């Protein structure tokens, strides 16, 4: 018997995440809640991306500056996320392909490689936020020097090795537990603050004020605050992930009823978990309003928020102030930060494998995939820590926070190339048959996609200018805007290329089917 050799990088053109595809048993003929429990889990892994450390500062700052005005934007972002994730899960269930595989099957090899690289950059951008969040949490909790803490984050590959052995269902359970930790921490701190719940609920109703370009508070207007929340909420890699892990449940693809049931309960799971993510982000905004005194938090970096929760004079009432003196508030905040980073580690690694297999048909062991991504992600963080080591502690904290914020520009670049193909594929009767999007889903989908792309492109000049300086000169502002114009033009041209190839492929398949009849 010849022993099979395994290589670090292997060819892959099979089922999405083949090791876990269709491995979770689903009982038949059981009640609603028992069936929902069997389908619950993938939604939690997706929801993690919507409560990523990158979201925290935007929500808290929005609350500090504009009270409850931007609550409606958090609600709107969550509803758009539910719609997009529904389509992503449905694509995987019906076509038995994840989004990367479906795009690659309908486009050229060259375009597939370009889209793979773009999505890899988006994953690395989120990984930078995870490195920074985890390193800061270790520094705050255990007083580990920041440089050493950054290196320690590399070893979360060992966590992945352990998780790979225990089974996908247990991974889902761990993620749910960590989400509960995050939700508990922020709920506890908000309850102590005794917020104005009537004003918070009223803030859920959209008003013209959210799109206003004045007043400007601490350099932020309601419009830029809204753009920041929307940009930090919808993550492109989540669409790839959900289209893959929605296939982990057993399914008889010959039965339309089985497919309908799977879509129904997967959507329930996704919407429940994304509702939890909405509450986390809403609680963060309420924290900005009710936990801290108005305008008290000048430094919204993780260090600044930790210190603020340790400072009774900055907190809203005497109950919060007395609890803050014990150090509980700041410690819980750091624990939530660490939990969020570890959650994102799990989902980021799975997504990386999905897009690598789907776009370029290559597969690596999860631990190797994680190690490569993390090593690339820690480089800019280490350089940032090294170059600011001679500066004041405050300057170093600001520099690290700016690195995390600036890295998010890659999410803006990658977002159109996941949303538009997803909508085109799930709108297509050729691809989806009777399960294609209904008219209202198509309309809502295109409105959401166009608005999100417009807002991301509109925010690009400020993001590019921020690369140069916190206080840019007129020349740097000009360079930022010129760079944004060039990048925006390239995005539009590449998007036209993607749409053209997908449309041509769909047309060829329709003609082929017509000829067969």
Q: How many CA atoms lie within 13 A of 368 on its CB side?
A: 9
Please give the residue that has the higher pLDDT: either 230 or 242. 242
131-142 per-position pLDDT tens digit: 888 888 888 889
Please name which of 457, 510, 359, 271 lies closest in space to residue 13, comparing C-alpha atoms: 359
Report how far residue 174's alpha carbon sits from residue 163's, in angstroms, rounded to the nearest whole number. 9
Looking at the DSSP bridge assignments, the partners of residue 24 are 249
184-224 per-position pLDDT tens digit: 888 888 888 888 889 999 999 888 788 776 776 766 678 77
Asked if 62 and 55 touch (Cβ cutoff 8 Å), the reply is no
351-393 per-position pLDDT tens digit: 888 888 889 888 777 777 777 777 788 888 888 888 887 777 7
Please name which of 418, 423, 416 lies closest in space to residue 438, comparing C-alpha atoms: 423
CATH label, 10-516, candidates 3.30.559.10, 3.30.428.10, 1.20.210.10, 1.20.1740.10:
1.20.1740.10
pLDDT of residue 10: 63
Where do we find the tokens 């409850």? 68
Where do we find the tokens 């305008």? 295
Q: Where are the domains of the chain?
A: 10-516
Asked if 413 and 491 touch (Cβ cutoff 8 Å), the reply is yes
The CA-CA-CA angle for residues 269, 270, 276, to 5°, reads 95
Distances (CA, A) of 308 to 13, 17, 69, 95, 444: 51, 43, 23, 50, 41
pLDDT of residue 441: 93
326-336 per-position pLDDT tens digit: 888 888 888 88
Report how far residue 316's alpha carbon sits from residue 514's, in angstroms, rounded to the nearest whole number. 68
Mean predicted lDDT score pLDDT of the chain: 83
3-29 per-position pLDDT tens digit: 445 555 665 667 887 878 888 888 888
Please give the residue that has the higher pLDDT: either 98 or 298. 98
Report how far residue 236's alpha carbon sits from residue 369's, in angstroms, rounded to the nearest whole number. 19
Report how far residue 220's alpha carbon sits from residue 405's, in angstroms, rounded to the nearest whole number. 15
Q: Is the predicted pLDDT of residue 125 greater than 90, yes or no? A: no
Neighbours of 147 (CB within 10 A): 15
Give pTM, 2 decimals.
0.88
Angle between helices 416-427 and 99-106 (to 10 degrees): 80
pLDDT of residue 102: 92
Report how far residue 492's alpha carbon sits from residue 498's, in angstroms, rounded to the nearest whole number. 10
Report how far residue 185's alpha carbon sits from residue 457's, in angstroms, rounded to the nearest whole number. 34
Q: Is the predicted pLDDT of residue 156 greater than 90, yes or no? A: no
pLDDT of residue 458: 76
Report how far residue 150's alpha carbon sits from residue 136's, in angstroms, rounded to the nearest whole number. 8
The contacts of residue 32 (CB under 8 Å, 6+ apart) are none
pLDDT of residue 247: 92
pLDDT winner (highest mean) among 230-239, 269-278, 344-353, 376-385: 269-278
pLDDT of residue 3: 45
Q: Is the predicted pLDDT of residue 99 greater than 90, yes or no? A: yes
Report how far residue 89's alpha carbon sits from residue 85's, in angstroms, rounded to the nearest whole number. 6
> Residue 385 is encoded by which pair of tokens?
């820590």
pLDDT (average), residues 173-179: 84
238-253 per-position pLDDT tens digit: 899 999 999 999 888 8
Neighbours of 434 (CB within 10 A): 9
pLDDT of residue 347: 78
């Amino acid at each position: 018997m010849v022993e099979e050799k395994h290589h670090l990088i292997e060819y892959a053109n099979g089922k999405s995440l083949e090791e876990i595809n269709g491995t979770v048993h689903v009982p038949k003929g059981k009640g609603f809640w028992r069936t929902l429990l069997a389908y619950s889990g993938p939604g939690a892994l997706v929801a993690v991306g919507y409560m990523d450390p990158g979201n925290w500062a935007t929500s808290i700052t929005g609350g500090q500056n504009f009270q409850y005005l931007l609550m409606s934007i958090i609600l709107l972002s969550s509803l758009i996320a539910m719609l997009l994730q529904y389509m992503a899960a449905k694509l995987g269930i019906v076509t038995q392909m994840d989004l990367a595989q479906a795009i690659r099957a309908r486009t050229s090899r060259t375009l597939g490689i370009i889209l793979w690289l773009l999505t890899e950059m988006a994953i690395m951008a989120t990984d930078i936020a995870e490195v920074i969040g985890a390193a800061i949490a270790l520094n705050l909790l255990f007083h580990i020097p920041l440089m050493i803490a950054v290196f320690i984050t590399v070893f979360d590959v060992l966590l992945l090795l352990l998780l790979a052995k225990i089974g996908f269902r247990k991974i889902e359970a761990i993620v749910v537990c960590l989400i509960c930790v995050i939700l508990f921490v922020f709920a506890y701190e908000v309850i102590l603050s005794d917020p104005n719940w009537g004003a918070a609920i009223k803030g859920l109703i959209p008003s013209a004020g959210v799109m206003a370009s004045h007043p400007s508070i601490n350099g932020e207007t309601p419009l830029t605050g809204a753009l920041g929340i929307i940009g930090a909420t919808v993550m492109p890699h989540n669409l790839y992930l959900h289209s893959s892990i929605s296939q982990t449940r057993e399914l008889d693809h010959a039965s339309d009823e089985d497919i309908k049931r799977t879509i129904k309960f997967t959507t329930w799971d996704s919407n429940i978990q994304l509702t939890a993510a909405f509450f986390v982000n809403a609680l963060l905004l309420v924290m900005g309003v009710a936990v801290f005194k108005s305008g008290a938090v000048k430094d919204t970096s993780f260090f600044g928020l930790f210190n603020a929760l340790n400072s009774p004079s900055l907190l809203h009432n005497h109950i919060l102030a007395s609890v803050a003196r014990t150090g509980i508030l700041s410690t819980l905040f750091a624990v939530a930060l660490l939990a969020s980073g570890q959650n994102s580690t799990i989902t980021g690694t799975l997504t990386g494998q999905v897009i690598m297999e789907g776009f370029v048909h290559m597969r690596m062991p999860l631990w190797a995939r994680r190690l490569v991504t993390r090593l690339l992600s820690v480089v800019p963080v280490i350089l940032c820590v090294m170059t600011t080591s001679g500066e004041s502690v405050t300057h170093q904290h600001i520099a690290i926070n700016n690195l995390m914020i600036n890295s998010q520009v890659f999410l803006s670049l990658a977002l159109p190339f996941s949303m538009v193909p997803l909508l085109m594929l799930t709108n297509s009767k050729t691809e989806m048959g009777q399960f294609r999007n209904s008219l209202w889903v198509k309309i809502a989908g295109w409105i959401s996609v166009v608005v999100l792309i417009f807002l991301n492109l509109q925010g690009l000049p400020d993001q590019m200018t921020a690369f140069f300086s916190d206080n840019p000169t007129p020349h740097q502002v000009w360079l930022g805007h010129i760079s944004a114009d060039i990048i925006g033009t390239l995005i539009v041209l590449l998007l036209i290329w993607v749409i053209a190839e997908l449309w041509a492929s769909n047309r060829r398949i329709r003609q082929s089917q017509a000829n067969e009849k």
